[in-house]
Amino acid sequence: MALDEIIISRAIIETYTKKLMDSLELDVAICGAGPSGMVAAYYLASAGKKTAVFERNLAPGGGMWGGGMMFNEVVVQEEAREILDELDIKSVEYTPGYYTADSVEAVCTLGSKAAKAGARFFNLVCIEDVMIRENRITGLVINWSAVESAGLHVDPLTVRADYVVEATGHPVEIMQVIESKMDTRLNTPSGRLEGEKSMWAEKAEEHTIENTTEAFPGVYVCGMSANATFGSFRMGPVFGGMLRSGKKVAQEIINKAK
C-alpha cells in the first residue's frame, strides 16, 4: 500500500482536533505531568472523571525521568510501595523500608496507565492564565509552550474545568498566576505563596501529604507544588510522597465531587 502524505497529515490534525475539542470542558484539569500529576490522572480517570493533563514540556515525567543526578533510579518508601504494585511498576528492596525503581520504567508506566484509564494528555501546552469567577477557578487559559518560549504575541484558548490540580512542581506556575491577581487570597497562613525551603527529605515527605489540599477554591495542590505553596521542604529523588500525594488529591476531588 502506497503512503499518502496528505492522509497522514489529515489523520493527525483531525484526530488531535477531536481530542482537544472533547477536552474543552472537563471534570478535572491537571497542570503538570510529573509523577504526582500522572498518579492523580490515573485515579481520577479510573473513577470516571473526565480528566486531561497539560504538560509544557515535550515529554511527561517531571523530575522523575532523571532519577538522582542522572542516575535513573528513584527511591520509594514502604508506605508508597502499594501504589507501585497496583500500577505494575517493579521495585526492589534496598534496605528495610526503602525500595528502588527504574525511573524510566516508572514514568512510562505511569503515563501509560493514566492514558489507558481514560486521561487525555496534551504536551507542549502551557498555562498562561486562569479564569476566576466569584472567587473560584473555573478554567485555564492555554497556549503552546513554543509560543511562550519564542515570546510571540499569540492569543490563547480556554478550557473549562470543575477542578484544577496544580502539579507543576517547584515553579508552582498555576498558584503564581492566581497569586498575581490582586483580589485573590490563597488558603495559606499568609494568604500568599509561602515558598519552598531547603532539602530535608524526611520532613518534606511528611509535609507533601499534609499539604495536599485545596489551596484556592477549585484548585488543589499536590507533589512538590504542595510544599512550595505551603512553605515546606524539598525532598530530592525520593518519590513516595509524590505518589501518595497524587493519590490523595484524586481521592479528595472524587469525594468532594460526589
Return the pLDDT at 2.
76
Q: Is 133 annotated as a binding residue?
A: no
25-257 CATH fold:
FAD/NAD(P)-binding domain (3.50.50)
Domain ranges of the chain: 25-257
Residue 68, marked binder: no
d(CA 68, CA 203): 19
Within a 13 Å sphere around the CA of 75, how many CA atoms are in the beta-carbon half? 15
Q: Is 36 annotated as a binding residue?
A: yes
pTM of the model: 0.97
- Provide the percentage of residues in the chain whose pLDDT is more than 90: 96
Give the model confidence (pLDDT) of 11-64 as tens digits. 999 999 999 999 999 999 999 999 999 999 999 999 999 999 999 999 999 999
User: Is 234 labelled a binding residue?
Assistant: yes
Q: How many beta carbons lie within 10 A of that of residue 20, not counting itself?
A: 16
Name the average pLDDT for the chain: 96
Binding residue per annotation — 86?
A: no
Model confidence at 183, in pLDDT bands (50, 70, 90)?
A: confident
pLDDT recorded at residue 238:
95
Residue 129 marked as a ligand binder: no
127 marked as part of a ligand binding site: yes
Please state the three-class secondary structure of the chain as a single string: CCCCHHHHHHHHHHHHHHHHHCCCEEEEEEECCCHHHHHHHHHHHHCCCCEEEEECCCCCCHHHCCCECCECEEEEEHHHHHHHHHCCCCCEEEECCEEEEEHHHHHHHHHHHHHHHCCEEEECEEEEEEEECCCCEEEEEEEEHHHHHHCCCCCCEEEEEEEEEECCCCCCHHHHHHHHCCCCCCCCCCCCCCCCCCECHHHHHHHHHHCCEEEECCEEECCHHHHHHHCCCECCCECHHHHHHHHHHHHHHHHHHC
Model pLDDT, residue 48: 98
207 appears as a binding residue in the annotation: no
Q: What is the pLDDT of residue 230?
A: 97
User: Is 223 a residue whose pLDDT tops 80?
Assistant: yes
pLDDT at 242: 96
Residue 1 has what pLDDT?
Answer: 75
Predicted confidence at residue 257, as pLDDT, reads 76
103 assigned to a ligand binding site: no
Grid cell for residue 48:
470516571
Q: Is 253 annotated for ligand binding?
A: no
254 labeled binding residue: no
pLDDT value at 258 more than 80: no
Q: How far is CA 137 from CA 8, 45, 218, 228, 244, in A?
A: 38, 21, 5, 20, 24
How much is the pLDDT for 3? 83
**pLDDT, tens only, 60-119:** 999 999 999 999 999 999 999 999 999 999 999 999 999 999 999 999 999 999 999 999
At 217, list the grid cell: 477554591
Selection from 230, 257, 212 nearest residue 39 by Cα: 212
